[in-house]
A and B are shown apart, each in its own frame.
Chain A
């Protein structure tokens, strides 16, 4: 499609907006506009001010300075209700669903007065709305029973109910697999053809380049420029985002610790919604797991860590049968899981960086069970500089760190434990900004070079292609493809995922 010309009306305009939180200037004097029918992407690292800018546009935050116009009308008060009334719709990354209410009820609550039917006609109306926006969901079930991807689509429909002039999408694809991303993009294109201005916030640059007409880059709260997407490349965008060209996106595969010995040997492993899986991972190898969301990858990975139950099959690690009955059993045998849900399963959000780092190795940090605070701090500071953790002090609560730094804190644990043989990383860079990603890749590769085996489950094919030595593709709980050597590339992985459902199970 051709991008709309300058004659199309501007539906969202931010003029010279600034916002500070305490001493931190989150956004500084930013101009941003979106025209009707245009898809305008907003990119930047975490903490670059994207969320603050969205918050101000949607009325959730009041700017310290500057003006905001929606559909040509100036916003007076800062309230989500006013912004919506003026013609702004927003789909939140963390969604705005009431999980205990049904899909129909959630749609009903989200609809503005004039769109809302009487209560008795709610179900039929909700079904017609879902149909209109091409989202195939029943209206009766609780939203809490939906998958994350389904919730994301529902969130977009909710934002569209008020027939907005401008639609803000905040990281809409984090929970989506490649096919679902295409489905969402189709919906977005359709709305933009209908004249809706779309502001698309994402850290997935290939997606952004694919869908956007224009791209605005933010760095440290300051706008770095607005560019026509047609003339942009990923490298150039990254350079604007981090302020320097990214030397090399992935660490080199040196193969230092790579030995012919097998570290992990999985035979005929079955569990809830996966299996049978046969797999060998060598010492020093990074194995990637790809697949569309919900095809057993996560369950398989978690089963290896003893977090999910297995029903049959054998797993051995370094020649010893692995006790996958409990997380403690696998941990004792040197298996570390980096959970995809960091805040819930890996970290203690309110505790400090220090406490989160040392929690598994406290015994080493002082005599007779008493902690030596000095020794603890030294250990943490060493780890922090090695993994480049950016923090105010070691006493800062982990929940106040950026996603990347949180992930680095959970990564300190396999580094501190001396006996690690296998690291299972579930979406290691989800919610992690570009700069910190490289640090994490490097840390994972460093462990591999020490002879540790790694399995990385990721929904980002580019990441798998760059980081891993070998990638397996799972579909419906079984391995349907294996990619290694010169074959290993983003394109090939995506093809395998998309074609995986039809592909035959390989022996």
Chain B
């Protein structure tokens, strides 16, 4: 990863430390085992769906259907993960939820790769279908979810949820794969320039197809943790579509494809949850959290693009000539 790839990671880590330190000094309730555990558990759904979204962004697409898919998975859980079921039927029920994600992924990927619809349009359609289906199954929040399953998902060592450790390991390995192996490089190449990648003999269609399947499967796993939070078959789950894109972009992903970091996405998800966690501690209304996040996203995007911006300004200063390079790095020679 080049220097510019590190900017989001360093920035997010610094922000997380700064906000945490400030809050810890001012509010005793922050550094409690209970609050930290809650914070990390609340991060789980967003982190998982944003990791999925990063895959879609890496190949130059979007998946806005993830929000409805998570809702669908929660609703499905209220049928397949009922209280007092046997362990075996709970296992099948869990498989069913992942199956919903897998099927949605295949559906999206087919629309995008086989029928060649723009990803934003295709997943917007899927979003609407899944939303309708969820409301059909549960018109209002009902259907309790098995508490043993919830406890298992929330298993923690001290304040640290076991699942969060798993996610941390996953994103580190995923970034090593993305930036230190040929297949990871190939995936980025597909996102950066599909024609060239195909000319180099890569199966660009397969890469893009798989990226969307993985995105949906990750969203369905996020559905488990969302279900663990609401604990009931609710057809109204928060808006994970835009937040997941926001987290991926804050983490360094480019909307044009080919750039992104799984570690960055996790840090960004953690940071967004942190904002939502600390504002109530200061007795600030939740609306401020939303506005703060909006401002931060804009600031982050401007900052990440700073090298390109500088290059562009320099060029327009020198007349309206063509851009010499794609970003701000000076041409050699």
Contact = CB atoms under 8 A, between A and B. Distances in A.
Chain B interface size, as a band, is 20 to 34
A79 B204 CA distance: 12
B331 interface: yes
A237 B186 CA distance: 43
A98 B192 contact: yes
B330 interface: yes
Contact of B185 (A80, A109, A142, A145): A109
Contact of A81 (B180, B201, B320, B330): B201
Interface stretch (B267-275, B292-300, B321-329): B321-329
B329 A80 contact: no
Given A84-B201, A95-B196, A98-B196, A108 B185 contact: yes
Interface string B302-333: 00000000000000011111100111011111
Nearest to A82: B201
Given A144-B327, A145-B330, A272-B318, A105 B198 contact: no
B189 A141 contact: no
A110 B202 CA distance: 10
B332 A146 contact: yes
Nearest to B254: A100
B182 interface: yes
Contact of B321 (A60, A81, A90, A307): A307
B319 A308 contact: yes
Given A110-B200, A119-B182, A345-B322, A101 B329 contact: no
B311 to A, nearest CB: 11
B82 interface: no
A397 B320 CA distance: 26
Interface in B179-209: 180-182, 185-186, 188-189, 192-193, 195-202
A25 interface: no
A92 B329 contact: no
Interface string B250-269: 00000000110000000000
A272 B197 CA distance: 35
A327 B329 contact: no
B189 A98 contact: yes
Given A80-B199, A144-B325, A145-B329, A308 B318 contact: yes
A390 interface: no
Contacts of A185: none
A81 B206 CA distance: 14
B326 A100 contact: yes
Interface string B148-181: 0000000000000000000000000000000011
A353 to B, nearest CB: 25
Given A142-B329, A144-B326, A145-B332, A309 B318 contact: yes
B331 A145 contact: yes
Interface string A121-153: 000000000000000001001101111001000
A99 B317 CA distance: 24
Given A95-B196, A100-B326, A327 B320 contact: yes
Contact of A98 (B197, B327, B330, B333): B197
A452 B48 CA distance: 66
A402 interface: no
Contacts of B196: 95-98
Of the listed residues B199, B322, B331, B332, the one surrounded by the most CB atoms of chain A closer than 10 A to its CB is B199
Of the listed residues A95, A109, A341, A345, the one surrounded by the most CB atoms of chain B closer than 10 A to its CB is A109
Contact of A116 (B182, B197, B200, B201): B182
A272 B321 CA distance: 11
Contacts of A470: none
A2 interface: no
B241 to A, nearest CB: 27
B320 A109 contact: no
B199 to A, nearest CB: 4
B319 A101 contact: no
Contacts of B332: 138, 141, 145-146
Chain A interface size, as a band, is 35 or more
A96 B199 contact: yes
A95 to B, nearest CB: 7
A96 B190 CA distance: 12
A326 B317 CA distance: 12
B171 to A, nearest CB: 19
Contacts of A105: 185
Interface in A303-330: 303, 306-309, 326-327
Contact of A109 (B186, B317, B319): B186
Contacts of B195: 96
A109 B198 contact: no
Nearest to B331: A145
B321 A147 contact: no
A303 B321 CA distance: 9
Contacts of A119: 180-182
Given A108-B182, A108-B185, A341 B322 contact: yes
B193 A109 contact: no
B333 A147 contact: yes
Of the listed residues B196, B320, B325, B327, the one surrounded by the most CB atoms of chain A closer than 10 A to its CB is B196
Interface string B208-220: 0000000000000
A345 B233 CA distance: 56
A60 B198 CA distance: 9
A80 B326 contact: no
Contacts of B319: 302-303, 306-309
B333 A92 contact: no
B326 A99 contact: yes
Given A142-B329, A144-B325, A99 B192 contact: yes
B182 A109 contact: yes
A506 interface: no
Contacts of A81: 201
A85 to B, nearest CB: 9
Contacts of B193: 97-100
Nearest to B193: A98
Contacts of B188: 98, 101
A60 B199 contact: yes
Contacts of A247: none
Contacts of B325: 142, 144-145
A486 interface: no
A145 B327 CA distance: 9
A100 B258 contact: yes
A345 B321 CA distance: 10
A308 B316 CA distance: 9
Given A108-B185, A109-B186, A326-B320, 10 more contacts: A80-B201, A84-B201, A96-B196, A98-B193, A98-B258, A101-B185, A108-B182, A110-B200, A144-B327, A309-B319
27 contacts: A60-B199, A96-B199, A96-B200, A98-B189, A98-B258, A99-B192, A99-B193, A100-B258, A100-B259, A101-B189, A105-B185, A109-B189, A109-B197, A119-B180, A119-B182, A141-B329, A141-B332, A144-B327, A144-B329, A146-B332, A147-B331, A150-B333, A272-B318, A303-B319, A307-B320, A309-B318, A341-B322
Top 10 nearest A-B pairs by Cβ distance? A96-B199, A81-B201, A309-B319, A96-B196, A144-B326, A308-B319, A98-B189, A80-B201, A144-B325, A100-B192
